[in-house]
Amino acid sequence: PPVIRREDYEPYPWIVPETELDFALGIGSTRVAARLKIKRNPGTESTSPELRLNGDGLTTEMVMVDGARFGDWSMDEGDLVVNLPGESHTVEIVTQIDPSANTALMGLFASNGMLCTQCEAEGFRRITFFPDRPDVLSTYRVKMSGSKDRFPILLCNGNKVGEGEGDGGTHWAEWHDPWPKPSYLFALVAGDLVANSAPFTTRSGRVVECNVWVREEDLARTDHALQSLHRSMKWDEDVFGREYDLDLYNIVAVSDFNMGAMENKGLNVFNTKYVLADPDTATDADFDAVEGVIAHEYFHNWSGNRITCRDWFQLSLKEGFTVLRDQLFSQDVQGEAVKRIEDVRILRAAQFPEDAGPLAHPIRPDSYREISNFYTATVYNKGAEVIRMMRTLANFGGQVDNFRKGTDLYFDRHDGEAATCEDFITAIEDGTGLELAQFRRWYRQAGTPRIAVRQTLGDDGLDVTFRQTVPDTPGQRNKGAMHIPLRVAVHCRETGALGAEQLIELRQDEQTITLPLSGPFPVLSINRGFTAPVIIERELDSADLVFLAAKDDDPFARYEALQDLAVRHLVAAASQQLDQAGRAEGKRLVCDAFRSILTDPELDHSMRGELMMLPSETYLFEAMAGSDPAGIRKAEPLEIHKEREQLKTVIGVTLKRELEGLYAQVADVPYDDPAGRGARKVKTQIAALFAASDPERAAIMASRQFDQADNMTDRQGALMVLCGLKHPARDERLQAFYDRYQGNALVIDKWFTLQALSLHPDVLSHVKALAEHPDFTMKNPNRVRSLYMAFAGNAHAFHAQDGSGYRMIADVILALDPINPQTAARFVSPLGRWRRIESVKAGLMKAELERIAGTEGLSRDTFEQVSRSLD
Ligand code: HT7
Ligand code: ZN
């Protein structure tokens, strides 16, 4: 497959002001008649007669130009190439497609008896021939007809402008979207659906009909989604000054979907996972995820739809910015501190490993073979962090939202355009007055910067020297210094005085900054609030970390200090660097810090629950492999796992009294109590610690929690603990859970995940058995991920000594690739981490990648990921 390069961008030689589509819908066969008004693009100099319309797997039934049959066309690699004589024409094309055979879920596909589309990034070309690129904007008029019984509801972008009855039990609807859009935002849905509806009145008085469409049996679980939509609409008006621009906002939930959701203009299509929620079936985290994804798709209406991307290299323009917007929204709704910690945890679990591995790329990539492979944590989450840094630079210490001046200018200046990341940065500069020349390197350079921090007590304060390095990544070496903002403060350990926060800006490879003291025994609190997506290497005394964990006024810094303490101990222990006394000391320090968290009366339980989470095994993996710049030290995932479990045991034993005391406080807080959420989080954390230190006690605790639960958070938490135990209660409760929820796909997904993620020593055989379960299917991405993504993230099983975990994932990739290449390709990255792991396992992982690479007929998606991983 060819490599597409950012530097090769050329505007399309034609414009397509109007597009008309006529769909005769059927699950097994759909006929699509397209009518495109086209004109030469005055912005280009091309005089070539060639009109190239992208197609993928389409056969042409007929081509007409200006109302007459036309013969001067040919096919080239799936594209239709028509040679046109003049400056403007009407081109009509008829194609026939089979949605029921579309297991890739791109283009028009069937799901649960309904028809629906997914066009981003290049799915529209699987429906009809079209310039399927984001910089060709067109207005769409769409007629759809089909069986009234099968498809009583017919939806498309924009507004419904007509409907009627047809022959033989059919009906039709016509839709018009007044806003010009690229083809990736086209959507169509036809099915037997019902809506939960409520109007929203915008600040200028427009009444918007908001509908959440689902299958009838799911209707009772849609209130949260609808309310989240209203909250998002209001928030975007209040915080970013953005108002909705149509009279209708439709959301449709489908059960077969490759990603979370899709922001099609006026007709969002959602994975059911991000729509349906009620206390009996969804956890607190599920409720938050629904709210976050609803907000994300809604915010795209401005950051993505009104202003779209010039080309797919600019993806972070819409995705990074929209993730930041959804994060800020959720911070406002759920609480800033806890949400920030959660977002950083996600970044470290998904993006830091990507940045350190063979698939590393800048947030604005330079090349790709298959764009679907670039919907990554880097483009989304690091992209959001980069824009968050601009916001910090614009707003720190000021009274007004200066960043907003930049975003207002961006929205005004580029409304209706297909823009670039450069356009965004320039608008932020012009609107805020910031100078971001060096900052632009964040868009060009991949890799997580590392900052080594040394400090000495000077005459005027604390002299802090920062040395930054940006690691080499595929295709990029010897990178320039980054412009890095950091919020810092210097506290005093002796008096407990907390220093004032200031923003420092690093721009050089090495620089020393003197910070004011607040007393003797200064303790540096750095990267507060996780100002920048970097790795800080600091030489703090453990006593200073314990102090920060207990006393820092920045909640993130407090969390970070506790994580650092645990990481230091666990990485040293897993690398066999500690003698008996060193081990005991490391554990004692973590326990001391933990004690202060468990007993601090000032903490609310939500925050306490966050602070109680030990660093994840993925994060420890990165810390172990990455802490050696020479790349000699490799990660030992099984050692990490063993040490982490041991630390849990020690915490459980040492702090038994404190944990029991806390448990008594949180065990029976009612579901609707304002403290209920935090209490549920803490309760399950305590049971998980006891599972390591006193499994019998944990089994009793978790069984009780499971049996008495009146909500999914408690039930799932208890079952998670039980799943890791060799105890009769495990199988009993698993069966009870299955029996209770049989037929509810989203909850049965949880049942698969809990077993695949468990600490039980026999996970591999459990997963093999589950793959044979009648409820398992490779055709549903949620189900595949629920079993195998969970397994690939379960270090002790995936990294089994004999390579059986790697083999299982490689087999999944090979089996899934012909069915759904996009989903298959996402399983490559766990195997791609082989270079950072000890040599025996590295060899086993590499051998599996080579086995995949040697297989005939791989999709472009999987081929690209496997070859990058082996390069
Ligand atoms: N913009 C959407 C991306 C998306 C997608 C991409 C490739 C294949 C399938 C897909 N479904 C949705 C989602 C978003 O970021 O909002
Ligand atoms: Zn998005």
Q: Ligand 1 pocket check: which of 375, 380, 822, 823 to mutate, most ligand atoms within 8 Å of Cβ?
A: 375
* Ligand 1 pocket member 297 (CB < 6 A): yes
∠ CA(255), CA(259), CA(260), 5° rounding?
Answer: 75
Element holding 705 (H helix, E strand): helix 695-708
- Nearest-CA residue for ligand 1 atom 2 is 262
Element holding 863 (H helix, E strand): helix 860-870
Ligand closest to CA 322: 2
- Looking at the fold, whether 434 and 469 belong to one and the same domain comes out as no
Assign 241 a pLDDT band (cuts: 50, 70, 90). very high
* Ligand 1 pocket member 118 (CB < 6 A): yes
The DSSP secondary structure of 299-339, one letter per residue, reads HTTTBTTTBEESSGGGHHHHHHHHHHHHHHHHHHHH-HHHH
Q: How far, in Å, is the centroid of ligand 2 from the Cα of 773?
A: 34
- Nearest-CA residue for ligand 1 atom 1 is 262
* Ligand 1 pocket member 317 (CB < 6 A): no
Spatial separation of the C-alpha atoms in residues 566 and 528, rounded to whole Å: 19
Task: For this complex, say whether ipTM is above 0.85.
Answer: yes
* Ligand 1 pocket member 826 (CB < 6 A): no
- Nearest-CA residue for ligand 1 atom 5 is 120
Chosen domain end from 417, 444, 471:
444
Percent pLDDT > 90 in the chain is 97
Q: What is the pLDDT of residue 568?
A: 95
Q: What is the pLDDT of residues 88-140, one digit of tens each?
A: 999 999 999 999 999 999 999 999 999 999 999 999 999 999 999 999 999 99
Q: How far, in Å, is the centroid of ligand 2 from the Cα of 496?
A: 44
Range of the domain at 433: 308-444
Q: How far, in Å, is the centroid of ligand 2 from the Cα of 211?
A: 20
Determine the atom of ligand 1 nearest the C-alpha atom of 300.
Answer: 16
Residue 297 annotated among the catalytic residues of the structure = yes
Average pLDDT rounded to a whole number, residues 612-639: 87
Q: How far, in Å, is the centroid of ligand 1 from the Cα of 300?
A: 11
Q: How far, in Å, is the centroid of ligand 2 from the Cα of 481?
A: 30
Residue among 111, 116, 100, 91 nearest 23 (CA): 116
Q: Which residues of 44-78 are buried (b: 16+ CB within 10 A; e: fewer)?
A: eeeeeeebbbbbbebebeebebeeeebeebeeeee
- Looking at the fold, whether 405 and 526 belong to one and the same domain comes out as no
Q: What is the pLDDT of residues 462-519, one digit of tens each?
A: 999 999 999 999 999 999 999 999 999 999 999 999 999 999 999 999 999 999 999 9
Ligand closest to CA 303: 2
Q: Ligand 1 pocket check: which of 105, 181, 259, 269 to mutate, most ligand atoms within 8 Å of Cβ?
A: 259
Spatial separation of the C-alpha atoms in residues 871 and 868, rounded to whole Å: 5
Q: How far, in Å, is the centroid of ligand 1 from the Cα of 111?
A: 17
Spatial separation of the C-alpha atoms in residues 264 and 187, rounded to whole Å: 6
- Looking at the fold, whether 62 and 160 belong to one and the same domain comes out as yes
Residue 400: inside a domain: yes
Q: What is the pLDDT of residue 572?
A: 95
Q: How far, in Å, is the centroid of ligand 2 from the Cα of 321?
A: 9
3-state DSSP assignment of residue 805:
helix
Q: How far, in Å, is the centroid of ligand 2 from the Cα of 261?
A: 8
- Looking at the fold, whether 263 and 315 belong to one and the same domain comes out as no
- Nearest-CA residue for ligand 1 atom 12 is 262
- Looking at the fold, whether 423 and 374 belong to one and the same domain comes out as yes
- Looking at the fold, whether 114 and 201 belong to one and the same domain comes out as no
* Ligand 1 pocket member 262 (CB < 6 A): yes
Integer distance in angstroms from the first to the last C-alpha of the chain?
16
Ligand closest to CA 822: 1
- Average pLDDT value over all residues in the chain: 97
- Looking at the fold, whether 400 and 465 belong to one and the same domain comes out as no
Determine the atom of ligand 1 nearest the C-alpha atom of 258.
Answer: 9
* Ligand 1 pocket member 319 (CB < 6 A): yes
Determine the atom of ligand 1 nearest the C-alpha atom of 297.
Answer: 16
Active-site position among 92, 122, 263, 297? 297
* Ligand 1 pocket member 374 (CB < 6 A): no
- Looking at the fold, whether 420 and 454 belong to one and the same domain comes out as no
Residue 839: inside a domain: yes
* Ligand 1 pocket member 686 (CB < 6 A): no
Question: What CATH number is given to the structural domain containing 338?
Answer: 1.10.390.10
Q: How far, in Å, is the centroid of ligand 2 from the Cα of 381?
A: 11
Chosen domain end from 444, 461, 495:
444
Left if phi > 0, otherwise alpha if psi is -120 to 50, otherwise beta: which for 833? alpha
Residue 576: inside a domain: no
pTM (predicted TM-score): 0.98
Q: What is the pLDDT of residues 73-86, one digit of tens each?
A: 999 999 999 999 89
* Ligand 1 pocket member 848 (CB < 6 A): no
Q: What is the pLDDT of residue 626?
A: 79
Residue 699: inside a domain: no
* Ligand 1 pocket member 263 (CB < 6 A): yes
Left if phi > 0, otherwise alpha if psi is -120 to 50, otherwise beta: which for 77? left
- Looking at the fold, whether 181 and 197 belong to one and the same domain comes out as no
Q: Ligand 1 pocket check: which of 56, 117, 120 to mutate, most ligand atoms within 8 Å of Cβ?
A: 120
Q: How far, in Å, is the centroid of ligand 1 from the Cα of 259?
A: 6
- Looking at the fold, whether 292 and 320 belong to one and the same domain comes out as no
Determine the atom of ligand 1 nearest the C-alpha atom of 304.
Answer: 1
- Nearest-CA residue for ligand 1 atom 10 is 259
* Ligand 1 pocket member 120 (CB < 6 A): yes
Q: What is the pLDDT of residue 629?
A: 61
* Ligand 1 pocket member 643 (CB < 6 A): no
- Nearest-CA residue for ligand 1 atom 11 is 259
Determine the atom of ligand 1 nearest the C-alpha atom of 105.
Answer: 9
Distances (CA, A) of 788 to 512, 520, 772, 850: 48, 53, 13, 20
Q: What is the pLDDT of residues 780-816, one digit of tens each?
A: 999 999 999 999 999 999 999 999 999 999 999 999 9
Q: What is the pLDDT of residue 60?
A: 87
What's the domain count of the chain? 5
* Ligand 1 pocket member 556 (CB < 6 A): no
Structure tokens at 55: 């197609």
Residue 571: inside a domain: no
- Looking at the fold, whether 464 and 439 belong to one and the same domain comes out as no
Distances (CA, A) of 510 to 453, 482, 793: 10, 11, 37
Question: What CATH number is given to the structural domain containing 808?
Answer: 1.25.50.10
* Ligand 1 pocket member 375 (CB < 6 A): yes
Strands (E), 562-701: none
Question: What CATH number is given to the structural domain containing 466?
Answer: 2.60.40.1840
Spatial separation of the C-alpha atoms in residues 128 and 107, rounded to whole Å: 9
Determine the atom of ligand 1 nearest the C-alpha atom of 296.
Answer: 16
Q: What is the pLDDT of residue 630?
A: 67
- Looking at the fold, whether 825 and 860 belong to one and the same domain comes out as yes
* Ligand 1 pocket member 259 (CB < 6 A): yes
The DSSP secondary structure of 499-532, one letter per residue, reads PPPEEEEE-SSEEEEEE--SSSSEEEE-SGGG-S
Q: How far, in Å, is the centroid of ligand 2 from the Cα of 465?
A: 38
Residue 631: inside a domain: no
Residue 364: inside a domain: yes
Average pLDDT rounded to a whole number, residues 231-258: 98
Assign 627 a pLDDT band (cuts: 50, 70, 90). low
Question: What CATH number is given to the structural domain containing 26?
Answer: 2.60.40.1730
Question: What CATH number is given to the structural domain containing 294?
Answer: 3.30.2010.30
Chosen domain end from 426, 444, 462:
444
Residue 750: inside a domain: yes
Average pLDDT rounded to a whole number, residues 723-746: 98
* Ligand 1 pocket member 299 (CB < 6 A): no
Q: What is the pLDDT of residues 686-700, one digit of tens each?
A: 999 999 999 999 999
Spatial separation of the C-alpha atoms in residues 579 and 581, rounded to whole Å: 6
